[in-house]
Amino acid sequence: MLSTYFANYAHKNVNTLFKRYNSTLKSKNNGTAVVFMNMGGPSSVPEVKDFLYQLFSDYDLIPISKNYQKTVAKFISGYRTPKIEKQYAEIGGGSPIKYWSQYQAGKVCEKLDKLNPETAPHKPYVAFRYAQPLSKKTYEQLLEDGITRAVAFTQYPQFSYSTTGSSVNELFRNKKELDKDNQITWSIIDRWPKNKGLVNAFAENIEAKVKEFEAESSDFDSKDLTILFSAHSLPMDVINKGDSYPAEVAASVYTIMEKLNFKYKYRLVWQSQVGPKPWLGAQTADIVEQLNTPGTEKLILVPVAFTSDHIETLFELDLEVIAESKHPKNIKRCESLNGSETFIDGLVEECVDHLKNNKSYTKNLKLDFVLAKDDPNAGDFLDEMFPK
């Protein structure tokens, strides 16, 4: 089971890697921290309730009520916890996202030390929005470790105000509360939808699944294959404000298909809709049902907006969409990026480019905040957070 693997071998090795960088940086008191930002996930079933509470408390992600957000979050998390606990139990007792985030961050810093020695030593950190280690705890650790230079590296390849924007807001709140003397100078990698490693890794994983279909059937014909790129959906009231996310996910999809020479049919679909509001579609489950019902089409699902496995891949796609379909043998899920060396090399390349060009943030980041808040001054804090 996943829980046994992560609890024993995997976590032990990742923790060893992190400790090595801890000792290096404490001795020199310099270098560059690389902070992987993501939503996170509960590493064990008992953590589910707090994870849900943190998630529904985030007004940037789920705008319920500025005055009663936490009260409503407490009610919703209490109501949903038993159901979500069962889901995490079914995928091995917890989310692997912490393990993979630590693994990826550690490998990136290991390679950065060799490729970009002028900003070395590089130290990996993980800052989750809704699970341990929470962003505030990570900021406290950065200060304790004497960090003076840090790169906030979003692990949402495609920007959305609901995800990366929320993490940036939380980072700014933590800076104001914990770092009033501005000990740490920050910059941010706020999007990377066409990153070469991201594109190549997905292309490799798709081709691997195509080969599985070929091995299983001597009469397999790629004309009967459709690639479904599945990304987490967003409410339409977020999209209608001009959020960057749909366009950037589409950019990732198109670039991956370019790498594959457009030799397969494909569509971009959206998963994980909750609540009564209209959400961005078409929904993954609906399209799978439509294409899978005749029993002749082969489908490959690609979790294109996720950098590792978690509940949306291991439960929603594997145990719901695929397992409950009429012809599950005709559907395969493309492997998540996880420990792909191709992908990790892409993350390294993104960091090297960012550090060598001394970028603070992309030109679009201010506009993202202006549109999300309908306020021409909404992005002004970025210059304070990420000085030129």
Would the CATH topology of 2-193+342-385 be identical to that of 196-333?
yes
* pLDDT one-digit tens code per residue, 303-328: 999 999 999 999 999 999 999 999 99
pLDDT tens digits for 141-163?
Answer: 999 999 999 999 999 999 999 99
Confidence of residue 45 (pLDDT cuts 50, 70, 90): very high
- CB within 8 Å of 352: residues ≥ 6 apart: 112, 115, 116
CA atoms within 13 A on the CB side of 363: 0
User: Which range among 11-25, 51-65, 350-364 shows the weakest confidence by mean pLDDT?
Assistant: 11-25
Q: At what angle do helices 341-356 and 97-115 cross, to 10 degrees?
A: 50
Edge-to-edge strands, sheet with 331-333: 265-271, 225-232, 298-302, 331-333
Q: How confident is the model at residue 3 (pLDDT cuts 50, 70, 90)?
A: very low
Count of other CB atoms within 10 angstroms of residue 383? 12
What the block records as the tokens of 201 is 């890794």
Residue 70 near residue 294, CB atoms below 8 Å: no
- What does the alpha-carbon distance between residue 266 and residue 227 come to, in Å, rounded to a whole number? 4
Residue matched to tokens 């390349």: 349
pLDDT tens for each residue of 246-297: 999 999 999 999 999 999 999 999 999 887 889 999 999 999 999 999 888 9
Distance CA 359, CA 191 (A): 13
The residue extents of the domains of the chain are 2-193+342-385, 196-333
Q: Catalogue the E-assigned strands of 155-276.
A: 185-189, 225-232, 265-271
User: Do 224 and 297 form a contact (C-beta atoms < 8 A)?
Assistant: yes
Q: Report the candidate in 185, 147, 108, 114 with the shortest Cα–Cα distance to residue 22.
A: 147
- Is residue 153 within a helix (H) or strand (E), and if so which, with residue range? strand 149-154
d(CA 106, CA 362): 25
Q: What is the pLDDT of residues 73-84, one digit of tens each?
A: 999 999 999 999
Residues annotated as part of the active site:
39, 55, 61, 129-130, 232, 309, 312, 316
Pair of tokens at residue 223: 């004309």
Whether the upstream peptide bond of residue 63 has omega within 30° of 0, thus cis, is: no
Is residue 129 predicted with pLDDT exceeding 90?
A: yes
Q: How confident is the model at residue 30 (pLDDT cuts 50, 70, 90)?
A: confident
Q: What Å distances lie between residue 107 and 12, 43, 111, CA to CA?
A: 15, 21, 6
Q: Looking at the predicted structure, is the pLDDT value of residue 378 above 90?
A: yes
Q: How confident is the model at residue 219 (pLDDT cuts 50, 70, 90)?
A: confident
Please give the Cα distance from 362 to 3 (Å, whole number).
38
On whether the CB atoms of residues 353 and 192 are closer than 8 A, the answer is no
Whose tokens are 């940037």? That residue is 60
**Burial call 90-123: b when 16+ CB within 10 Å, e when fewer:** ebbbbbbbbbbbbbbbbbbbbbbbebbeebbbbb
pLDDT at 12: 52
Residue 293 φ/ψ, nearest 5 degrees = -60, -45
Q: What is the mean pLDDT of the chain?
A: 91
Find out whether the peptide bond into 378 is cis, omega within 30 degrees of 0. Answer: no
CATH classification number, 196-333, choose in 3.40.50.1400, 3.30.200.20, 3.90.1150.10, 3.90.380.10 = 3.40.50.1400
257/42 Cα distance (integer angstroms):
33
Cross-strand bridge partners of residue 228: 267, 301
User: Which neighbouring-strand residues pair with 385?
Assistant: none
Q: Quick one: which of 136, 141, 137, 170 has its CA closest to 154?
A: 170
Answer whether the bond into residue 121 is a cis peptide, omega within 30°. Answer: yes
CATH of domain 2-193+342-385: 3.40.50.1400
Return the percentage of the chain with pLDDT > 70, whole number.
93
Phi, then psi, of 134 in degrees rounded to 5: -65, 155
- Say if CB 301 and CB 331 are below 8 A apart: yes
